[in-house]
Amino acid sequence: KQEVTQIPAALSVPEGENLVLNCSFTDSAIYNLQWFRQDPGKGLTSLLLIQSSQREQTSGRLNASLDKSSGRSTLYIAASQPGDSATYLCAALLMDSNYQLIWGAGTKLIIKP
Partner 1 sequence: DVKVTQSSRYLVKRTGEKVFLECVQDMDHENMFWYRQDPGLGLRLIYFSYDVKMKEKGDIPEGYSVSREKKERFSLILESASTNQTSMYLCASSLYRNTGELFFGEGSRLTVL
Residues that bind partner 1 (CB under 8 A): 31-32, 34, 36, 41-46, 49, 51, 89, 91, 93, 99-101, 103-106
CB of 56 to partner 1, least distance (A): 16
Q: 92: buried, middle or exposed (CB in 10 Å: 19+, 13-18, 0-12)?
A: buried
CB of 99 to partner 1, least distance (A): 5
Closer to partner 1 by CB, 30 or 77: give it.
Answer: 30
**Exposure of 94 in the CB half-sphere (CA atoms within 13 A):** 20
Distances (CA, A) of 72 to 9, 19, 42, 95: 16, 16, 27, 16
CB of 17 to partner 1, least distance (A): 27
Closer to partner 1 by CB, 57 or 80: give it.
Answer: 57
Closer to partner 1 by CB, 80 or 109: give it.
Answer: 109
Phi and psi angles of residue 108, each rounded to the nearest 5 degrees, phi first: -85, 115
